[in-house]
A = this chain, B = another copy of it.
Amino acid sequence: MDLSEYLASAARSIDVMIDRYFVDTTGELNKASAHLLAAGGKRLRPAVVMLAADAVNPGSSSEIMPAALALELTHTFTLIHDDIMDDDSLRRGVPTVHTVWDMPTGILAGDVLYAKAFEFLIRSKATDEAKIRATSMLAVACAELCQGQHMDMSFEKRDDVDEGEYLEMVRKKTGVLYAAAAGIGGILAGGNARQVKALYDYGLNTGMAFQIQDDVIDLITPPEKSGKDRASDLREGKQTLIWIKAKEKGIDLSPYKRDLTDAEIDAVIKKLEDAGVIEDVKGIANRLVATSAKHLALLPPTKERELLREIGEFFVTRSF
């Protein structure tokens, strides 16, 4: 099975659980909680949970599917809340929760999924000791995610963010949830401390690469392909790695604000490509993926380890 087949199959397993536990519900708040979950999504974090489990204990992923779902619930709660904070209107090709309902319902819809994440996590078949460690890892990750989102927003009010700060933000905002996905898969499957650490570090580096590529995609991928508003970071004046690297090359992106035309966005992209900015940024993402592969090498050589490595490669080569 190649990576795309594996990911499609993993996504279907998660979709079945989402349909069963979330979509067939009554009540406006339950519908609001299910809205973004049911809108698709690549279910990458659940796939990482499943592969990590099988990488340390072949065949164990079928026992920990509730934990795989838990990671998707966590990710979705953060998206719902982030969309309110950023007042984004489109996500996964559908209107965001707070625009379909309202801000209060959006906050609560995220809060419901937050609770459900912990509820499902401990429904996995694993030892109680492993479940406690997994719960702790998820809780710590959630607190760090909030710190990452807060840093990300604070960057909008600044024009002097450096690469170190940016990478810290990305580590917290995206890295730690992939780290927790891989680590939790390893913990629940009975992996030893060395294996769990290797998986955690794999996820951390891969997740950071994912976010950096996401920033590239935000800029260069058309909205009909990405399912998001185009070049929202640029229009919001976000200090992404693209911004920081552009500045190093003497390109100031600060004059580009809301209400950019498609032609103006195209011109900015051309300028950044010509100056080698996008290549530089991709180079940083590629090095993170290379680091994540080194951590993976500490695990036994299995098909699942190879798929985890390919996920890292995929993260930095995807265009949406």
Contact = CB atoms under 8 A, between A and B. Distances in A.
Interface stretch (A100-108, A159-167, A276-284): A100-108
B146 A112 contact: yes
Interface string A123-140: 000011101100110111
B119 A140 contact: yes
A85 interface: yes
A156 to B, nearest CB: 10
Interface residues of A, number: 37
Contacts of A91: none
B142 A132 contact: no
A119 B85 CA distance: 25
Contacts of A138: 118
B29 A150 contact: yes
A115 interface: yes
Interface of A: 27-29, 81, 84-85, 103-105, 107-108, 111-112, 114-116, 118-119, 122, 127-129, 131-132, 135-136, 138-140, 142-143, 146-147, 149-150, 153-154
Given A111-B142, A114-B142, 20 more contacts: A29-B146, A29-B150, A85-B103, A85-B104, A104-B150, A104-B153, A108-B146, A112-B146, A114-B114, A115-B139, A115-B142, A118-B138, A118-B142, A119-B139, A119-B140, A119-B143, A122-B136, A122-B139, A128-B129, A128-B132
